[in-house]
Amino acid sequence: MTRAPVVIVTGASAGIGRATAARFARDGAAVVIAARSRERLDRLTARLQSRFGVEVLVQRCDVREAEDIGRLIAATINRFGRIDVLVNNAGYGLYGLVEDTPDQEFRDLLETNLLGAHRAIRAALPHMRRQGSGHIVNVGSVVGKRGWPYHGAYAATKFALTGLTQSLRAELAGSGVSVTLVLPATTDSEFFDAARIVTPGYEPAAMLGRAQTPGQVAKAIVHSVGHPSAEVNTVPQMRIAQVLAEAFPALAAKASELYYRRRSRT
């Protein structure tokens, strides 16, 4: 009998995280769902168990707190004895001009979007190394490859996550543990409703045109586990745009300037 893989998903109460937990459950995985809202997690648990009949472990977790991360990993090991997949999805958006971004707002964003992932990786990795297997998915962003006006602080956290992931992937070579950076573009979810706006009048959801669904991103995340690769763009055209931006940086800079000028006049 094939053992069901054990998957931890942070930020699982909404959007991409919720869709990712559902996708893994649909495929028969035992799912550990973590987020700050216990009520939302309980509703998701009932849905996953009724639809897919899988084992679900609920753990309230604020990734800014090392103690919460420790409890999440310990509860997973106590229940299942292993961790096969860690999806670092917890995060939120902060949008506005760099000069409008307060220090504390920036620090809080880093605590969740970057250091939260780092804490989870550090806590989970010893168990994956002991197993000799595992896969880590860090959910980044297309603006973690190319900055954009009004996205300075958010892009900075995602650029940092890109660098962290690239370094970690090299450090784990030969260990049996693989790492993937998933790069969503604009996604139609509660993400933008919960985002902090520090420059009045800016609407980040309008940034990159047509939005993808959380389910589309979740599909890419699950696929990356079965077919590990360094980076996955959930919108393939964005990979082309990134290559062009690297090849023609002046052109990419001009596009950013034009976007800013147009937005600043509205």
Residue 97's domain is classified under what CATH number?
3.40.50.720
pLDDT at 241: 67
Three-state secondary structure call for residue 28: coil
Give residue 235's identity as a one-letter amino acid code: V
User: Does residue 176 sit within a domain?
Assistant: yes
Number of Cβ atoms within 10 Å of the Cβ of 250: 7
pLDDT at 164: 98
The residue ranges of the chain whose pLDDT is under 70 are 1-2, 205-210, 239-241, 243-245, 247-248, 252, 260, 265-266
Give residue 166's identity as a one-letter amino acid code: Q
Three-state secondary structure call for residue 150: coil
pLDDT at 253: 74
pTM attached to this predicted model? 0.91
Total number of domains constituting the chain = 1
Beta bridge partners of 181: 138, 231
User: Does residue 260 sit within a domain?
Assistant: no
User: Does residue 200 sit within a domain?
Assistant: yes
Rg (the chain; Cα; Å): 18
User: Does residue 187 sit within a domain?
Assistant: yes
Domain that holds residue 85: 6-235
pLDDT at 208: 53
Q: Which of 92, 154, 202, 259 is catalytic?
A: 154
pLDDT tens readout for residues 24-73:
999 999 999 999 999 999 999 999 999 999 999 999 999 999 999 999 99
pLDDT at 194: 83
User: Does residue 59 sit within a domain?
Assistant: yes
Alpha-carbon distances, residue 239 vs 160, 232, 243 (angstroms): 19, 9, 6
User: Does residue 249 sit within a domain?
Assistant: no
Backbone angles phi, psi at 217, to 5 degrees: -65, -45
User: Does residue 136 sit within a domain?
Assistant: yes
Q: Which residues, including other chains, have CB under 8 Å from residue 203's CB and lie 6 or more apart?
A: none
Which residue, 152, 166, 175, is CA-closest to 229?
Answer: 166
95 an active-site residue? no
What 8-state DSSP symbol labels residue 265? T
pLDDT at 1: 44
pLDDT at 56: 97
Q: Which residues, including other chains, have CB under 8 Å from residue 206's CB and lie 6 or more apart?
A: none
User: Does residue 251 sit within a domain?
Assistant: no
pLDDT at 6: 98
**Euclidean distance between the first and the last CA atom of the chain, given in angstroms as a whole number:** 61
Helices (H), the chain: 15-26, 38-52, 66-80, 103-110, 116-131, 152-171, 191-194, 214-226, 236-247, 249-264
